[in-house]
Amino acid sequence: MPYSVVDLYQKILPKTNCGDCGYPTCLAFASMVVSEKVPLETCPHIDKTLQARVQQELDRQHAAGKWTKRDLAADALVWARQRAASMKIEDLAARLGGEVVPGDHGPVLRLPYFTGHIRIHDGQIQPEEDFTLNRWEQVFIFNHMAQGGSASPSGTWRALEQIPNTISKITSMQRHVEQPLVERFNGRAEALRKAAVALGAQDLTDADGSADAVLRFQPMPKIPVLLKFWNAEPDEGFAAGAKLLFDETICEHLDIESIMFLCERIRELLCETDAAQENTPT
Ligand code: SF4
């Protein structure tokens, strides 16, 4: 039986997201194994006998050309859509925020998403404004629909290491989110603030005063994310730093994979927006 990304993730990998394979999550590693033929043994935490057996099947499916990159996102999307399929649109607004509005074929959930809105109905997610959602973003949103609890943000911020069962992700967060932000924005906290505001973030730098940039993102109504950023101060012996903080209710709304995806998406959007702003004449 060929292994899809989800098969590999659910049935074979440890799901600890420790990052020892060089990828931020087990799901990301699974997608590389299935599409790019990264050997399964790159994960050192799989029983050797199991690993050899599964690798044989992977070799067969690679030879047969199964599971192209295009298939991966589609596969994950089918999985996430199935997770969310039993949710009634009418019940979702109370859990996730947003509002239920009438549509041509029944109720539609209208949700704020960064600076725009998305409309969810009949297993479809459509942007209301002129932007596109890639399939991994749709996976993230469906997972939020399936998991989202009713708790509203409490205003108490937690670092990733203060959230239960996330120890294994700390290295991934540093390597794939915080360090790339430091590399792009060190000495350019003003540029970071400008890019964040363009993405709808609230600039709390002056009011908070604890960092060179303090930015509160609101990707979705129940999911605020705070980014603190410090420029390097070589004369005072301080290295540059970036830290993402989450409301203490985050685990009611997102699984760990989705938290990682969201943070990587924020990093990606900040870098893209900054590049666009740099190329825009003032
Ligand atoms: S090394 Fe860690 S993150 Fe990578 S697949 Fe194995 S358990 Fe998952």
What does DSSP assign to residue 168?
G
Best residue for ligand 1 mutational test, from 8, 15, 20 (most atoms within 8 Å of Cβ): 20
**Which residue would you say has higher pLDDT here, 98 or 74?**
98
pLDDT of residue 71: 63
How far is ligand 1, taken at its centre, from the CA of residue 172, in Å?
Answer: 11
142 CB under 6 A from ligand 1? no
Phi-psi region of 13 (alpha: psi -120 to 50; beta: other; left: phi over 0): beta
18 CB under 6 A from ligand 1? yes
Distance of CA 86 to the CA centre of its chain: 23
Cα(219)–Cα(222) distance, rounded to whole angstroms? Answer: 9
Share of the chain above pLDDT 90, in %: 50
Q: For residue 99, what are the β-bridge partners?
A: 110
- Of 117-126, 159-168, 191-200, which has the strongest mean pLDDT? 191-200
pLDDT of residue 208: 96
- pTM comes to 0.74
Inform me whether the pLDDT recorded for 70 exceeds 60. Answer: no
Per residue in 119-140, pLDDT (tens digit) is 998 888 899 988 888 888 888 8
Q: What does the domain layout of the chain look like in residue ranges?
A: 5-67, 86-147, 157-278
- 3-class DSSP state for residue 254? coil
Residue 86: which pLDDT band, with cuts at 50, 70 and 90?
A: confident
Best residue for ligand 1 mutational test, from 8, 9, 11, 13 (most atoms within 8 Å of Cβ): 13
Structure tokens at 77: 């999307």
Looking at domain 5-67, which of 3.40.50.300, 2.30.250.10, 1.50.10.10, 1.10.15.40 is its CATH number?
1.10.15.40
171 CB under 6 A from ligand 1? no
Residue 73: which pLDDT band, with cuts at 50, 70 and 90?
A: low
